[in-house]
Structure 1
Amino acid sequence: MIKIYGLLGRDIGYSFSRNYFSEKFEKENLDCQYNNFDLKHIEELRQIKENTSIKGLNVTIPYKEDVISYLDHLDPIAKEIGAVNVIKFDENQQSIGYNSDYYGFTESLKPLLNKTIKKALILGTGGASKAIAYALDRLNIHYTFVSRNPDFNELSYNDLDEDIIREYKLIINCTPLGTHPNVDYYPDIPYEHLTKNHVLYDLIYNPDQTTFMKKGQEKGAKTTNGLQMLILQAEKSWKIWND
C-alpha cells in the first residue's frame, strides 16, 4: 500500500516540502507520495487523521501552535517549544507531534557564528519564532523578541536604535515580510547600524535573496536565507517518520 505524507497549512499552493519529498521519493524509488493539505480551518485535520494511509505530516503557517490540541501525544521538545511542525502516525494511528525546525535552524546557523555574537533579536512572535528561541537557548545566545505589538520583555520596532543593534549581532527574521511576490517588503529595523560582525538570518527561502538580506550585505553583514534550514528539518522529519 502506498504511504502518504503531506504538508498541513493554509494557502500553500507553492510548497518546498512537496517538491523536496516528491523528488526524494522518485530518486530513491519509494512507494510514497506527498500531498498538500490546504486547510481553511484546523478542524479539518480530524478528517485527515481518519485516512490510515497517511503516515506523517509537516505543519506550516498558520497551524504550528493550533495543531497541538488535535494531537494524541506530544514529544517533550515540541511541548517545551510550544509549536509542532512534524506529525507522526504510529501503528495504532495515534498522532504524535514533534518539532524539527529548531534542529534545522541550529545546524544551519552554526557555520555563520562568530565570537562576537552573544545576543540575538528575533523579529516576529509566531510559531516558527518559538523554535528559534529554543535553539538559541541551547547555543547560549541571549535573545529578545521584536514585535509590532510587544508584550512584557519584548521590544517594539520603534525601540530599535544604534545601541541595541550594536549589542545584538544576530538578527533573525521570522516574519513573512519579503516573501514572494511581495519582495520589496522588509522588517523595519535601522540597517545603517549593521557591521561586518552582524549575521542576518531570514527564514524566508523564496526569493533566495530578500531585501532584508541585501540591506545587511550592503553593510558587510553575513546573510543567509531559510533554504538550508528547510532541507535539514525535512530530513529530520523523514527520520522521525521512519524511526
Structure 2
Amino acid sequence: MLENARKRFGLLGRNISYSFSKGYFIDKFNNENFEGCTYENFDVQDIAKFGEIIKNNSDLKGVNVTIPYKEAVLPFLSKLSKKAALIGAVNTIKVTKKGKLKGYNTDYYGFKKALKPLLQKHHKNALILGTGGASKAVAFALHELGIEYTFVSREAKEIAVSYDQIDASTFDNYHIIINTSPVGTSPDIESSPAIPYEYFTERHIAFDLIYNPAETQFLKKAKKQGAQIKNGYEMLVYQAEKAWKIWNKE
C-alpha cells in the first residue's frame, strides 16, 4: 500500500482520448485503495511540450508513453534501463527522487508474456507489420523467445520488406503475423494492413497490438482462415502492471 501522499501519474501521447492507460489506472487506484494517486492524459501535438509538463508538475512520479513519442522522448531522459537502451524505444518513465527521468520499456515484457502461451514448435518465424517504436519492443521480445523476425513496411528498406512482397511462400515460412501499426484502430475500424489474408491457416498466429476494437479487421480476416488470434489488451495489462512496479520501486 502506498502512503497517502499525493502521487501523480500520466500518459504522454498525441490524440489519446481513447487510451487504455487512464481508465485502467483510475480503476486500479479506486479498486485497490491507492488514495492520493491520480492519472491524467498529457495530450500534446509536439514532443517539445514534454519539457514544460515535467517542469510544471513537480509531483509527477511516472509517465507512460504512447504513439508517436516512444522514440522521440529519448532526448528528454537522463538515463535508460539496459533493455530500453537495447530496444531504442521507451513506454515508461520514472521520475527519480532527484527529479531525473529514467526510461524503461515494458511493452516488450507485456508482449512476450501475452504471446508465449500461444506458441507451438512450428512457430519459428514472425512478420512484424510496422516499424515504429512498438515494433522495436516486439522484435526484442521475439529475439528473447528465439523467434526470427522480419519487419514489413510500406516501402522496402534495408531492415524491412514491403507489403507488396508478401505472398503465399511468405505465409509458408512465417507462422506468426504481428500488427504493430495503428491501421484498424478505432474509429478507422474498417481498415486493415494490406496483406493477402487468404494465406492464413490454422498453423498461424495473428496478433494485433490494437485493443480497440477488440477484434480488428486484421484479426477477423485471419480468424476466418482458421488462424489463432489475439488482440493487445492482455499485453497492455501486463505492461501497465510492470510500469506500476517500476514507479513504486525504491
Contact 1:104 1:228 in 2 (8 A): yes
Count of residue pairs the alignment pairs up? 243
Contact 2:197 2:221 in 1 (8 A): yes
Contact 1:146 1:155 in 2 (8 A): yes
Map of 1:88 onto structure 2: 94
Amino acid at match of 1:150: A
TM-score for both structures, normalised by structure 1: 0.98
CA shift at 1:150, angstroms?
Answer: 2.3
CA shift at 1:151, angstroms?
Answer: 1.1
Match of 2:183 among 177, 181, 192: 177
Matched, 1:16 2:20: yes
Map of 2:37 onto structure 1: 32
Matched, 1:140 2:163: no
Question: SS at 2:53's partner residue?
Answer: helix
- Paired with 1:145 and 1:226, the residues of 2 have a C-alpha distance of 19
- Paired with 2:113 and 2:213, the residues of 1 have a C-alpha distance of 21
Map of 2:107 onto structure 1: 101
Q: CA RMSD in A?
A: 0.8
Question: SS at 1:8's partner residue?
Answer: strand
Map of 1:56 onto structure 2: 62
Distance verdict in 2 for CA 1:97–1:153, change over 3 Å? closer
Amino acid at match of 1:152: E
Question: SS at 1:7's partner residue?
Answer: strand
- Paired with 1:209 and 1:94, the residues of 2 have a C-alpha distance of 39
Amino acid at match of 1:176: P
Matched, 1:239 2:231: no
Instruction: State the Cα deviation string for residues 7-35 of structure 1 (Å, max 9, x = none).
Output: 00001112210000001011111120000
- Paired with 1:54 and 1:153, the residues of 2 have a C-alpha distance of 37
Question: SS at 1:48's partner residue?
Answer: helix
- The runs of at least 4 aligned residues of structure 1 exceeding 3 Å deviation read none
Amino acid at match of 2:160: E
CA shift at 1:99, angstroms?
Answer: 0.2
Amino acid at match of 2:219: M
Match of 1:208 among 207, 214, 218: 214
Distance verdict in 2 for CA 1:188–1:3, change over 3 Å? same
Contact 2:155 2:163 in 1 (8 A): no
Question: SS at 2:128's partner residue?
Answer: strand
Contact 1:122 1:174 in 2 (8 A): yes
CA shift at 1:60, angstroms?
Answer: 0.2
- Paired with 1:69 and 1:151, the residues of 2 have a C-alpha distance of 25
Map of 1:150 onto structure 2: 156
CA shift at 1:154, angstroms?
Answer: 1.4
Stretches of structure 2 lacking an aligned partner (at least 5 in a row): none
Q: Percent identity?
A: 52
Contact 1:166 1:194 in 2 (8 A): no
Match of 1:71 among 57, 66, 77: 77
